[in-house]
A = this chain, B = another copy of it.
Amino acid sequence: MPRWDPKAQDRLRAAALELFVEQGYENTTVTQITERAGLTRRTFSRYFTDKRDVLFAGSEQLPDAVAAAVRRADAALPPFQALLAALVDIGESFTDLVPHAAQRRAVIASSPELQERERTKLAAVTEALAGALRERGATASRAKLLAQVGIAVFQTAFERWTDQPEHADFTTCVHETATELASSLSPAAGLVTMPENP
């Protein structure tokens, strides 16, 4: 076996997710994962610190990466459109996660501990996004609102993309989700039924 196997990380991830779905996250050990993948524990340690890390590898870098993508977005774009451009940019780097995304969601949904970890991750990304939007001139309150809504659009678009990757690319999924949301929110769709300002 070569010392550097570019497919090893993906084989380990696939084996781990298979086992998590088959027998439960709690009941799965790193030894079982490496046996299923036909790799050693030493190889596992090269890519992941523990079994939870299979689900969250790279998430520490995500807040900075997302903020940097907002900073790279065309200076002429208004805040929410800069944010969407950044999310498309980031989402496209997740292509190798597409085949595992639905399984990963099912595993996380099965465990309160993993749900909590996922929420903590998303909160850190939301905070970084809000910070980057403040740098582009949004007020703190508006930056937080748009960051939260951007994360909701990202999650929805990512789920739709990974559930049917042959249907459309990620950019199209983000575009469709944002358009659908805009039409749900539009005053014509019913906000006029709310009381007017005094």
A interface with B by C-beta (< 8 Å) = 74, 77-81, 84-85, 88, 115-116, 119-120, 123, 141-142, 144-146, 148-149, 151-153, 155-156, 159-160, 168, 171-172, 174-182, 184-187, 189-191, 193-195, 197-198
Whether B191 contacts A81 by the Cβ 8 Å rule is yes
Which chain B residue shows the least CB distance to A81? B190
Starting from the known contacts A84-B191, A116-B119, 4 additional A-B residue pairs (CB-CB under 8 Å) come to A80-B184, A145-B155, A145-B156, A182-B182
Residues in B with CB closer than 8 Å to A177 are 145
Whether A145 contacts B141 by the Cβ 8 Å rule is no
| Number of copies of this protein chain within its complex | 2
Residues in B with CB closer than 8 Å to A185 are 80, 149, 178, 181-182, 185
Q: How far is the CB of A33 from chain B (nearest CB, A)?
A: 28
Residues in B with CB closer than 8 Å to A88 are 194
Asked, given contacts A81-B189, A152-B148, A156-B141, whether A194 binds B171 with beta carbons under 8 Å apart, the answer is yes
